[in-house]
Structure 1
């Protein structure tokens, strides 16, 4: 009887422990949501009074400036403003990816100020009060994959002045994180090694070509054109090589000349007497010197158009100096997507072109 009672008590205790552990695990293993939101979207958290008194114009100027270069202006980020209270009243707003939190610390009753004080340590807040402006970064506050950039001023004017100085670093930080998302989207079908080999043979450059592209059938030894269909259009990659003859080839004019040459020779529409060319009359051709995987290159951004037709769109080019083989390699990505947004399409092409490496 005593043994039976002891066994019963032991089983009861074990059951109680098992139930308690299970309940505790259920509480501690609550899954953290994954942050969501469109690529290149930015949520600005600021009090309405601050937003209406200078912050809105500053944010628009610094974070909604045009993406270079598109036929129709599109901002570098899609910006949405919310007040701090929305984060509590509408929990979905706590699961977005990119936040810019603006706080004027002179307004102690400000919900944004109270949020910043609660989120950051006293030393950081004191530093801002002493120096006039400060910034901080937090990740995964409410969801995985999330980033919050805090900009704080001792007063409203010092906050706006600080924003005008620090915005390039903020833009770069957000853009780098978004580029990671673009890369995942770009290569979700993997890498087409066969097309990569074809590009290498014809151009002398190795490029990680994403799945989904097809080789346009053109009989050419030193040129390849790859195309991927999209909603209402296509993504296109062109590669070619020409002998290096003079330094002036590595200029804006040199890049334009080579691109126009292959456009005239290989790219046309369904109409007769049509060919692709750079249109630097309506919008400028922007170029700058850069390094691409260890090689000197000229980066070019501009608009292409089809002569004797009504097709046009943006392009991005890299003219690479292949010193070892005494040749220049042009890799170019262009979009044909009439009536569609083109910012993300160009970002996707850039992710591909940035993998280019001369052999």
Structure 2
């Protein structure tokens, strides 16, 4: 009987150790949640005292700038502000995709500063203290598939000034991530090779046509018109070719001439004597020279409308120079979505028309 207390002690020690190991294993095996959230959304993490005033205004100016170009203004990102405590209190706040963390190191009592000091290396924090300002990027802090961009100043003024200098790079980084998400969504149903072959045969252009698009019947093969109907909206793509005559066609005026011509000939409403045209009176037609998949191109962004009717919406066009066949290829995407926000719909259309290339 003398060894009974020892046996009891060893048994209790075994149970405690087993329980501890089990708890640790459960924590280790606990699945990491996957990040979720709408396309083009951004969560700003900061203290309310930091957010209020000039810094909050700067974030709105930089990250809620208008998307170019829509009939009614919509921001490039949908921005929401939270404090770090909200993530602890409501875990769903920590399972979104894109975060911008703003920290003022001089406020040592700040929950955001404490979070940043805990997340980043001592070397990085010391670098910010010495240089006045710094940025860092992290992934998957609270969920898989998320990214956090840290913007840190040694004091409030350094934070404010620094943000104004680095925001273009942050916007570009966020847009690249959202661009990939949008591409996956756009081509979720795969590609329609039959429609792609039709476009290639009739116009000489290559285009990755997603599933869900159908060809709109026309009494001509001069234009290939594709359409996808979604709830409350119609997504449209038109492809045509035109003879290349001179360099002046590769311009804002040249793009407008070709687009207005096919709009007048092939697009109308149910009302008599109607046709589609570019409205560059109420809002400008933006154009930019670029290279698209190896070809010189003019990108155009603007607003279309139906003459003699009350229909309108955004469009994006690419006018490509086919030097082999001495032709111009117009690939145009436009959206009709009355009463709906149009930014994300246009982003989907742009994903498709940006695949355009010359044989």
> If the length of structure 1 is used for normalisation, what is the TM-score?
0.93
Deviation at 1:27, TM superposition (A): 3.8
Q: C-alpha separation between the residues in 2 aligned to 1:30 and 1:59?
A: 36
Deviation at 1:89, TM superposition (A): 1.4
Is 1:237 equivalent to 2:254 in the alignment?
A: no
Q: C-alpha separation between the residues in 2 aligned to 1:144 and 1:67?
A: 28
TM alignment of 1:15-94, pairs within 5 A: 26-94=26-94
Task: Report SS of the residue matched to 1:68.
Answer: coil
Q: Which runs of 5+ in 2 are unaligned?
A: 1-16
TM alignment of 1:118-137, pairs within 5 A: 118-137=118-137
Moved segments of 4+, more than 3 Å:
17-27
Cα displacement string for residues 108-149 of structure 1 (whole angstroms, at most 9, x for unaligned residues): 111111111000001111111111110000001110000000
Is 1:247 equivalent to 2:247 in the alignment?
A: yes
TM alignment of 1:62-211, pairs within 5 A: 62-211=62-211
Q: Report which stretch shifted further, 18-27 or 117-126.
A: 18-27
Q: C-alpha separation between the residues in 1 aligned to 2:239 and 2:59?
A: 39
Deviation at 1:53, TM superposition (A): 2.8
Deviation at 1:85, TM superposition (A): 1.2
Cα displacement string for residues 264-313 of structure 1 (whole angstroms, at most 9, x for unaligned residues): 11111111111100000000000001111011100000000001111000
Deviation at 1:215, TM superposition (A): 0.5
Task: Report SS of the residue matched to 1:319.
Answer: strand
Give the total of aligned pairs.
343
Q: C-alpha separation between the residues in 1 aligned to 2:90 and 2:162?
A: 30
Change in Cα spacing, 1:143 to 1:261, as seen in structure 2 (3 Å) is: same
Q: C-alpha separation between the residues in 1 aligned to 2:166 and 2:19?
A: 53
Q: Which runs of 5+ in 1 are unaligned?
A: 1-16
Deviation at 1:66, TM superposition (A): 0.5
Q: C-alpha separation between the residues in 2 aligned to 1:21 and 1:62?
A: 49
Deviation at 1:200, TM superposition (A): 1.0
Task: Report SS of the residue matched to 2:189.
Answer: coil
Change in Cα spacing, 1:172 to 1:326, as seen in structure 2 (3 Å) is: same
> If the length of structure 2 is used for normalisation, what is the TM-score?
0.93
